Amino acid sequence: MELREKLDRLGVAGSRTPKEPVRRGLDNLTDHVSGSECRSGSGPFYLSSSIFPENHAHGREPIRGWFDIPADRLSWMGRDPALSGADLRSALFLDTETTGLAGGTGTVPFLVGIGAFDGTGFRVDQYFMRDLDEEKAALQAVAGRLEEAGLLVTYNGKCFDAALLASRFTLRRMRTRIREIPHVDLLFTARRIWKRRLVDCSLSNVEDRVIGFKRQDDVPGFLIPGLYFDWLRTRNAAGLAPVFRHNVWDILALAALGSIAGRMYGRPLESIRHPQDGIGLGRAFESLGRFETAASCYHRVLEGASGREEREEALFRLGFALKRSGDWTAMAAVWERAARETRSPIRAWEELAKYHEHRSGDLQRALEAVHAALSALDILEAVRPEGGLTDDRDRLIRRLERVRSKLARRSGV
């Protein structure tokens, strides 16, 4: 028996010549995944396209809300000033499915999904390698799409999807501008705003808890490489249909999540629905140096928070935000409230002591605040016999001595 016949009987992929359509599995593929064979300058690949109306809602969020994001807010979301000049209409929403999840030169993006708004609505094009030898052809088509992009939107794409594509382009000796395109990675945006409440910031969990879209019969990401290898071995495309659907959902989620995040950065007081999200957003504004906006987020949390931990944290964050914005009078009022209402008011009393020593000039009140801080520390040490508060006590005693010295000089003693 000839070697090719033996390989055929074993079901080994690649046992036929590349020119034979049965090897590509085109007939079986179109039965399960709508699309057709396309060609780039490097050869054939498979292209599947899905079109959604521009007012399509993914979960609770209409994806066209993406266009309501002010340009400067996009740069805040992505922590990159280059994003302030990005054209939202030319954004490409990118997600890949690969032969492995660890990355590296042996990992191949066998399916590259690109979503974009065009005249027909929101279009998702999926570039699929029916065999690994179609990689260059598919990548060449993807590179052509990247040429028209004014913005790249991904979820963990800076570390994985875009980084992997850049490596594959290099290995294939293809020049692209993927590293030059302004890039917003929504994973980091999601962590800044929602990690406190969600803990798990995987796209599927954020999609469920924030966007309001719960996937039915979705294939877990860790199974996807195996499904592709099953296709290469058997040419049965039944297992590929959920992979394509998973990729489409990921891309729709990018547009919806960007809409929500943009609204939260653009209109925070109207958008905060959960106290922990408000604290996360406030801290994001603090990191941008926008302390007044951060303070407004914390005020909003205090208006609606019922949990004691959330209220205490919002009070402390508000105090520090007002301090950094230079609103000393409002800051002092917040620290006084925190001293009354929080379970561990040491820091609040200490900040009041600093304020009266350096700002109001009321050294007597500064002295009283230090004594109150030391008293609160005594109580805390009584319930925490393991210690660990020595540095706090030393710092407060130094302040106590300094304030006493200033009082003595002022009184002429």
**E strand segments, 43-149:** 43-52, 57-58, 61-62, 91-97, 111-118, 121-128
| The predicted structure's pLDDT at residue 10 | 38
Of the two residues 353 and 88, the one the predictor is more confident about is 353
Q: What is the pLDDT of residue 381?
A: 86
Give the pLDDT confidence score for residue 24 in this predicted structure.
58
Strands 61-62 and 121-128: unpaired
Please give the residue that has the higher pLDDT: either 8 or 323.
323
Mind listing the pLDDT tens digit for each residue in 92-109?
999 999 998 776 778 999
Per-residue pLDDT at 105: 73
Provide the pLDDT for residue 14.
41
Supply 336's token pair: 């006084």
- Strands of 119-212, DSSP E: 121-128, 151-154, 183-185
Domain boundaries of the chain, sorted by first residue: 11-266, 268-340, 344-413
**108 three-state secondary structure:** coil
* CA distance readout (Å), 58 to 63, 90, 113, 212: 7, 20, 17, 8
pLDDT at position 387: 66
Q: How confident is the model at residue 304 (pLDDT cuts 50, 70, 90)?
A: confident
Residue 384 has pLDDT above 80, yes or no: no
11-266 under CATH 3.40.1080.10, yes or no:
no
What's domain 344-413's architecture? Up-down Bundle (1.20)
CA distance 353 to 363: 8
Is the model's pLDDT at 4 over the cut of 50?
no
What is the assigned CATH class of domain 268-340?
A: mainly alpha
Q: Tell me the torsion sign for CA atoms 117, 121, 122, 125.
A: negative
Burial of 404 (0-12, 13-18, 19+ CB in 10 A): middle
Per-residue confidence (pLDDT) for residue 102, from 0 to 100? 74
Q: Are 168 and 102 in contact (CB under 8 A)?
A: no
What pLDDT, on a 0 to 100 scale, did the predictor assign at position 70?
A: 84
pLDDT of residue 120: 85
For 185-225, the pLDDT digits (tens) are 999 999 999 999 999 999 999 999 999 999 999 999 999 99
**Residue 413 clears pLDDT 70, i.e. is over it:** no
CA-to-CA dists, residue 320 to 286, 303, 317, 346, 354, angstroms:
9, 18, 5, 14, 13
Q: Is the pLDDT of residue 233 over 80?
A: yes
Which pTM does this prediction carry? Answer: 0.88
Among 47, 333, 294, 309, which residue's Cα sits nearest to residue 193? 294
Q: Report the pLDDT averaged over residues 361-390.
A: 89
Q: What is the mean pLDDT of the chain?
A: 91
Tokens 């780039």 belong to 40
Rounded mean pLDDT, 119-125: 93
Strand partners, 36: 47
Q: Which residue has the higher pLDDT, 18 or 375?
A: 375
pLDDT at 366: 97
> What tens digit of pLDDT does each residue of 41-95 get?
999 999 999 999 999 999 999 999 998 888 788 999 999 998 988 888 899 999 9
